[in-house]
Structure 1
Amino acid sequence: MPTHAQEVIFAAVGDVHGHMNRMVDQLRHQSEVLRRPFDFILQVGDFEPHRDAADLATMSAPAKYRQLGDFAAYHQARRGFPWPLYFIGGNHEPYGYLDTQPEGFELIRHCHYLGRVGVVDLHGLRVVGLSGIYQAESFRAARPPLSALGSVSTRAFTYFNERDIEQALELGHADVLLVHDWPSGIIAPDDAASFQGKRRSPDADTVGNEYARLLVDALQPKLVLCGHMHRSYRGSIHHASGRATTVRCLASVEQGVDAFGVFHFQGDTYSEMLLTK
């Protein structure tokens, strides 16, 4: 695998849910504290880039969460992202818009969708992304075509499937892996009680999904970034090869600084930098 001699500093962001202004304000603050611009931003899904009400109508979410959000101002060039941002899809996205180009595309300047499965080289780092969440009943089925919108549930577009996983496995390796839901098996025994009866976690053993874990075991990235559970957590996975993967789970932007991480890569080493409140 290639080494990365150059210094790279990037930020990672948890679920945004349309709060792009809040995200940018917090990132500006952290960049000012560091006295250095970020090389790029990685975002782990539930970004919600709704251009208009038509996009919003293609998102799977209860009515009380269907809000247009801030993206329209960015799409109309009334606001802009100061750094290149790369995001994957979560389970709350305008897939009627994103699936027009499932291989990924640049929505606006500095805002890139990585696609259902995507890979990009950023300053020497190989970043792989998988969009969507797991559902057993949908895993071996093809996703509906966009022409089926309106006749099938919008939820049907929120799942990854077996072909997506196969495509991601074919990528061979990654330095950073983006998934929306957590990989299974990352909760340390000492932390298990804190997951009991919480959001999307009846107990620690049900947290995450086996296919995100399969990708971690196969690609052996240095760092995995995920969101979905609106909770900050750090876990690790040790591989038979002797390599280790850090799993960094991020809260939602509405929860403040726990939604953000800043990472410094240089050579074969990396570290997470301390954030200020």
Structure 2
Amino acid sequence: MIHRFAVFGDVHGRVALMLTLARRWQQEARLPLDGILQVGDMGAFPDHDRLDRSTRRYARHDPDELGFRDFLSPSPDAVSLLSPPDTPPIVFCRGNHEDFGYLSQHREPSPMDPWGKLWFVPDGQVLPWPIGAPELLRIGAFGAAAPLRPPAAERRGRSARRSRRKADRAELSLSMGPRFRLKDLQRVLSAELGPIDVLLTHAGPLHPAWRGGSPHLTRLAQALKPRVHLFGHHHQVVGPLSTPNGLLVGLEHLEFIEDNTLRPGAWGILSLDGASARFEWVDRQTYPWVARFTRFSWRSLAQEARSEQERAP
């Protein structure tokens, strides 16, 4: 049995665009998607008075940065894009631009929308797949930005002591923030949750093929033994790379660039078939219809797709 997932990088509120693209892929490929996976920075701000500084700044120029809230109630976009039976469940981890007070209310994997399709998976949790059916796959998550320097406990000197004290104060005052806490990582490592099929992290692991990455997330992947490790955050396209810790894929942000077309490397299709895993980028070379999606046309194309669906027998 082949399981197919659309996979998206940081969407920053562009949930409607994400769902429109996933639906269009299903129509063009004439294949169903089992789910949609998203690697954090969903833009989960249900209360726009609680936006972080960065989101508030970008939203002045692009109101779609605020689109997440529309999918928590039966808004027009939610009814047309999320409620239809052929819209598959969405699974996401947290990024570093979310309302952490809101997300921290969810201690276990849980849906956030009226139709039970928009699922948040907290750090260190595993979601059995398919949801509500006999388990065929296991999807794990560990979100937020990662510390890129070695932990203060492994450094010496006055600066390291200050870092340790600052980290201790932060861990006492925050249950969730833009960076994950090392004690939470250690808790997950001690829980022996692996092996899993798919690991969603916001930041990426350390790897020689690209700049950046966290050794802490490398340790996590080594412990959980995922078949596929998906991440975003870094504004880089990575892979797919075959590694000892699974197929590694890093995704760009889902957004429109200066020429008003979609940024390459922001999404693709993951296929899991038995023990094999394959990832294919969705771009205008492989799928020419992608070129039709521009900053100015995508909403009319979404309406066109809805009309075609309504006319279908």
| TM interval, short-chain normalised | 0.7 to 0.9
* In 2, Cα distance between equivalents of 1:64 and 1:126: 37
1:43 aligns with 2:38: yes
1:228 aligns with 2:228: no
1:271 aligns with 2:271: no
The alpha carbon displacement at 1:226 in A equals: 0.3
SS of 2:171's equivalent in the other structure is coil
Q: 1:235 to 1:8 in 2, by over 3 A?
A: closer
What are the superposed Cα offsets for residues 110-129 of structure 1, whole Å, 9 maximum, x if unpaired?
10110122201114111110
In terms of mean alpha carbon deviation, does 86-95 or 121-130 score higher? 121-130
Q: 2:92·2:120 contact (CA, 8 Å) conserved in 1?
A: yes
Give the aligned partner of residue 254 of structure 1: 255
The alpha carbon displacement at 1:98 in A equals: 0.6
* Among 165, 168, 172, the residue aligned to 2:185: 165
Give the aligned partner of residue 129 of structure 1: 141
Question: What does 1:1-277 correspond to in 2, within 5 Å?
Answer: 6-56=1-51, 59=52, 61=54, 63-65=56-58, 69-78=66-75, 79-80=77-78, 81=82, 82-108=87-113, 109-123=116-130, 124-135=136-147, 136=151, 137=163, 142=171, 144-145=173-174, 157-169=177-189, 170=191, 171-187=193-209, 204=211, 207-234=212-239, 236=241, 238-239=243-244, 245-255=246-256, 256=262, 257-273=264-280, 275=282, 276=287, 277=290
Gaps of 5+ in 1: 1-5, 147-155, 193-203
The alpha carbon displacement at 1:18 in A equals: 0.5
Q: Over alpha carbons, which structure has the higher Rg? A: 2
In terms of mean alpha carbon deviation, does 65-74 or 262-271 score higher? 65-74
What are the superposed Cα offsets for residues 177-216 of structure 1, whole Å, 9 maximum, x if unpaired?
11111101241xxxx6xxxxxxxxxxx3xx0111111111
The alpha carbon displacement at 1:89 in A equals: 0.5
What are the superposed Cα offsets for residues 236-266 of structure 1, whole Å, 9 maximum, x if unpaired?
3643xxxx51110111110535211111111
Q: Size of the alignment, in residue pairs?
A: 240
- Identical positions, percent: 25
Q: 1:31 to 1:144 in 2, by over 3 A?
A: farther
Give the aligned partner of residue 200 of structure 1: none
* In 2, Cα distance between equivalents of 1:62 and 1:265: 34
The alpha carbon displacement at 1:143 in A equals: 5.6
The alpha carbon displacement at 1:217 in A equals: 1.7
One-letter amino acid of the structure 2 residue matched with residue 117 of structure 1: G
Q: 2:143·2:203 contact (CA, 8 Å) conserved in 1?
A: no
| C-alpha RMSD of matched pairs (Å) | 2.3
Instruction: Give 1 or 2: higher helix fraction.
Output: 2
* In 1, Cα distance between equivalents of 2:6 and 2:89: 11
One-letter amino acid of the structure 1 residue matched with residue 15 of structure 2: M
SS of 1:258's equivalent in the other structure is coil
